[in-house]
Structure 1
Amino acid sequence: MTTEPETPPRRTYSYLGPAGTFTEAALAQVPEARGHTWRPVRNVGEALADVVEGRSDAAMIAIENSIDGGVSTAQDALATMPGLRIVGEYLVPVDFVLVARPGTKLEDVSLVAAHPVAYAQCLRWLTENLPAHAHLPAASNVASAVGLLDGTSDADAAISPPGILEHHELELLAEKIGDNPEAVTRFVLVARTTAPPAPTGADKTSLIAELPEDHPGALLEMLEQFATRGINLSLLASRPIGDALGRYRFVIDADGHIEDERMADALLGLRRFSPKVIFLGSYPRADRAIVRYPERYSDDVFVEARDWLRALVSGEPEV
């Protein structure tokens, strides 16, 4: 008698919807999410609450933009919602298209719907190609286009992500209209607290740390925990804690994995220094770039130093 193999349980992934957003494009890069349930939500807080409360297995959220910097709503949510862990990161080029109702031509456009951030990133193209246009602010990059079809927008055209064309019948008036062709947004996949994936040699560790008190050199003392161990920081962003003026927490991305001896040693130093450290995760870098560091910060050096100290304490004769 043969038994059929068990079907793996269906998983649910939350993402900022509706369909066609840059966040959906990031989720499409996750192999294990394909064929499972994708749950569109309205904001980052709802996406993370889905994970914490068990409605979703993981959530994809934007964490950093190469033009606008860190996404403050995401950073603040990760700092204040316990029980979360970053398990992967993904990069999505920030590109925009100009779309309209079927049959519309570029010369027919005088009112453009766009999210204010998207509008600012396309202003040079709009000025050159539609110099007499007016801007109609939209709630999101997708809402700007959907409004053209459902009658809720008076605009003639909309700025949207390219993915919008996969979900709606719209006229493509122009593509690649973003002013910065190198613009990219970094997304992270967030799950409930779990053990980090094994180190790959091309890893990143994300943390949030608070300074113990406001005194000269406090930030330098925190940064020394990494500098003296040869760890490069790829992100350092401050966010107000909110309980008093001048009180900040710092969002940190450090090159390396928690299982690296130098990173583990840095985290121990940071824990001794800071009144609150939130470990967000160690995970493979999206660019898969191997982390390079001087030989004096190799794992063997840290292990040898620890063995040397243990020998001193135990009274072993020096060789």
Structure 2
Amino acid sequence: MTDAAARRTYSYLGPAGTFTEAALAQVPEAWGQEWRPVRNVGEALADVVEARSDAAMIAIENSVDGGVSTAQDALATMPGLRIVGEYLVPVEFVLVARPGTRLEDVSLVAAHPVAYAQCLQWLTATLPAHAHVPASSNVASAMGLLDGTSDADAAIAPPGILDHHELELLASDIGDNPNAVTRFVLVSRTVAAPPPTGADKTSLIAELPDDHPGALLEMLEQFATRGINLSLLASRPIGDELGRYRFVIDADGHIENERMADALLGLRRFSPKVVFLGSYPRADRAVVHYPERYSDDVFVEARDWLRGLVSGEPED
């Protein structure tokens, strides 16, 4: 097999210089492989399903704006996908311009509306008389300066744009929240989960069986009664009628943990539809702690005890 034939392809939201590209750069096995820029999350995941790519990097959650609804909905409705890893990228912004531009020359700033909102305090303090022209993406705001399609004097963009294009850096770290971070996930076709590390996360999407008092509590009890912490619980409309929602869930632990497996069995019995998105190492590598009564040994012993009762073995 030639090197070209062995190369893997990774789809990501392009063009070069995006936060998604920065997330993909954190994947060692993607280094030196084919990176395929796409225009949206749906296209990235379709690349995987239709075998144009081996995996896709997509944004799933932002610490400021919450869950990325387009990604959550796509994962809920496109079969044959599995999350195999997660990566965190700090949300940092720079102000860039055409070469030779000075900060005092700036009066019109191009920016994606979300980026503009996250830099508004800095802009108000530094460029109080500025005006804003919306851009379709963080990278498009800067590209418009170079290709002449934008009348803006400067653009708000990710720092990675400077690695690919000749632009004047007018200011760095202009975001108003220094702790802002975006969580990305690497999605492949359905595969077995990587082995548990002790610092794992399991992602699911589940629907409630019907709309009745306590239905959500019953779903959450599948995890609470087994000592499993939920790091994410978000609702998304199913879309077939008003009042019908699916829930996006991130649970601490791995499907090979006895407590997680038991919770998934309970959830499967309760919910009319459960989509298992994957068990994978946490990006922060934080070890999952739980009370001893929820250890694997306790679940195994309880199952052996029940088997003994069924088979008529004498109890100790």
Query: What's the TM-score once normalised by structure 2's chain length?
Result: 0.99
Cα deviations by residue, 1:207-265 (Å, 9 ceiling, x for unpaired): 00000000000000000000000000000000000000000000000000000000000
| Aligned residue number for residue 78 of structure 2 | 81
| Aligned residue number for residue 277 of structure 2 | 280
Q: Which amino acid aligns with 1:43?
A: N
Write the distance in 2 (CA, Å) between the matches of 1:81 and 1:235: 21
| Aligned residue number for residue 8 of structure 2 | 11
Write the distance in 2 (CA, Å) between the matches of 1:54 and 1:265: 33
| Aligned residue number for residue 34 of structure 2 | 37
Pairing partner for 1:183 from 176, 180, 183: 180
Identical positions, percent: 89
Write the distance in 2 (CA, Å) between the matches of 1:120 and 1:294: 42
Pairing partner for 1:57 from 50, 54, 59: 54
Matches within 5 A, 1:122-161: 122-161=119-158
**What secondary structure does 1:169 align onto?**
coil
Matches within 5 A, 1:1-319: 7=3, 9-319=6-316
Write the distance in 1 (CA, Å) between the matches of 2:27 and 2:261: 28
**What secondary structure does 1:99 align onto?**
strand
Equivalenced residue count is 315
**What secondary structure does 1:73 align onto?**
helix
Runs of 4+ in 1 over 6 A off after TM superposition: none
Q: Which amino acid aligns with 1:159?
A: I
Structure 1 stretches lacking a partner, 5+ long: none
Q: CA deviation at 1:152?
A: 0.1
Q: Which amino acid aligns with 1:82?
A: P
**What secondary structure does 1:209 align onto?**
strand
**What secondary structure does 1:145 align onto?**
helix
**What secondary structure does 1:148 align onto?**
helix
**What secondary structure does 1:206 align onto?**
strand
Write the distance in 2 (CA, Å) between the matches of 1:90 and 1:318: 49
Q: CA deviation at 1:132?
A: 0.2
Structure 2 stretches lacking a partner, 5+ long: none
Write the distance in 2 (CA, Å) between the matches of 1:149 and 1:48: 30
Q: CA deviation at 1:6?
A: 6.7
Cα deviations by residue, 1:290-312 (Å, 9 ceiling, x for unpaired): 00000000000000000000000
